[in-house]
Amino acid sequence: MALSDVAIRKAKPCAKPAKLADGGGLYLLLRPDGGKWWRFDYRRPVTGKRNTLSLGTYPDTGLADARARRDAARKQIATGIDPGENRKAEKAAGLERAANSFEVLAREWLAVRKPGWTDKNFEKEQGRLENHAFPFIGGRPVAALGVADIRPLIERLSKAGHLEQAHRLRFQLSRVFKFAVATARAERDPAADLSEALPSRRDMVKQRYPTITDPKRVGDLLRAIDGFGGTFPVACALKLAPLWFCRPGEIRMAEWAQFDLDGENPAYRVPPAIRKLRKREKEHPDTAPHVIPLSSQAIAILRELHVLTGRDRFLFPGARDQKRHMSDGAINAALARIGFKDEMVGHGFRHMASTRLRELGWPREAVEAQLSHKVGGTEGVYNMAEYLPKRREMMQAWADYLDTLRGDGNTS
């Protein structure tokens, strides 16, 4: 006699498992703990051996659904398919697809590449995938992805005006796919086919950091810096930024141990660890520090600052934690506070100094060496230290020139 929903609801558990038959091999197994499990008994198509297939539990799987699953299994048996083995194969295939998903492969690739990257570079590469790839294709089998799946990710960035990021993402995806091919989990790299789908980088308008190069406006900026009403360490950082024109991180992460204020040639020796170098150069013991000669004006500022923070590790401790250095947004926030938002940023002092120093007649190699730029061609063979005497002279002359602009605005 076939089962009914009423009969199933009224069925009570017994001390031993009991069966309520429905027909066609389907029955409801009543367990002593109150559980009600749908079961389907059948004979394997090839061997004829008896087997049992689980079809779910009641009430999550109702009577109608259980019958539908039984009928589907019976159709498989009629065509020579063992429904139990078929379920195992589907489960195994699903696990394999999950193990070979794009996100799994990409994270494996990130782990392989991480030793050759700085922490900051790793965070950028990982973040780009987490923001622009994983939410859309992360769970899909890498071998099943094609051009049609990849193109929307690239076009989304390009249409939003982030062309450089679109190029970087396409190249990054290509590297992940090549890793999948190399590990025998994909047969090709569909991202490579999109190399011509984006406008060329040559057509991109290069975005420069906001900067000031007009002498009169430079004088306005310097006077505004002198009037900064924030904390003393930030005020000192603002004053030193135009004098040193190094990268912002080399200011905020500066440590007192890296300074020589009393020697014959006072200088700030920027360690490789905080310079803009490849990881292997940062960690190589033979990589020399970048030397920033200190003008008399810079020394005067540093001596005042030393009274306040000289016992600390960093010149510019963090506002919330004295054991950490100043945050990366402090200088830009201070520039905005004195009225130069969108007109000047910390990195802009480099372009300001480079432009003005060349216009004042200082040799290119000395300026480039002070900026810690790599010079190509024959000039590049010479050690940057070769220009130190000229750079010392230049840095003092630069500080004197800034004093002139600050004082009376004379641009001659």
C-beta neighbour count of 360 within 10 angstroms: 12
- 204: which 2 tokens? 């991109």
Catalytic residue among 276, 324, 364, 374: 276
350 catalytically annotated: yes
Orientation angle between helical segments 119-132 and 163-182, nearest 10 degrees? 90
252 catalytically annotated: no
Cα 152 to Cα 171: distance, rounded to the nearest angstrom? 15
Catalytic residue among 70, 290, 347, 351: 347
Cis check: omega of the bond before 210, within 30 degrees of 0: no
Cα 285 to Cα 273: distance, rounded to the nearest angstrom? 11
Whether the Cβ atoms of residue 143 and residue 185 lie closer than 8 Å to each other: yes
- In 13-100, the DSSP E strands lie at 18-23, 26-30, 36-43, 50-58
247 catalytically annotated: yes
Cα 374 to Cα 380: distance, rounded to the nearest angstrom? 7
* Sequential DSSP letters for 172-239: HHHHHHHHHHHTTS-S--GGGGGTTSS--GGGSPPPPPP----HHHHHHHHHHHHT--S-HHHHHHHH
Catalytic residue among 69, 70, 350, 351: 350
Query: For residue 211, what are the contacts with CB-CB under 8 A and spacing of at least 6?
Result: 344, 345, 348, 349, 351, 352
Catalytic residue among 70, 170, 185, 247: 247
Catalytic residue among 75, 324, 358, 382: 382
347 catalytically annotated: yes
Cα 293 to Cα 312: distance, rounded to the nearest angstrom? 22
* Sequential DSSP letters for 113-142: HGGGS-HHHHHHHHHHHHHHTHHHHTTSBG
Query: For the purposes of burial, counting CB atoms within 10 Å of the CB of 111, is it exposed (0-12), middle (13-18) or buried (19 or more)?
Result: exposed
**Closest to 145 (Cα-Cα) out of 198, 91, 188, 182:** 188
Q: For 220, what's the count of Cα atoms within 13 Å in the CB-facing half-sphere?
A: 11
- 383: which 2 tokens? 């050690």
Catalytic residue among 44, 114, 175, 373: 373
Whether the Cβ atoms of residue 110 and residue 125 lie closer than 8 Å to each other: yes
Q: For 341, what's the count of Cα atoms within 13 Å in the CB-facing half-sphere?
A: 7
**What residues are annotated to the active site?**
247, 276, 347, 350, 373, 382
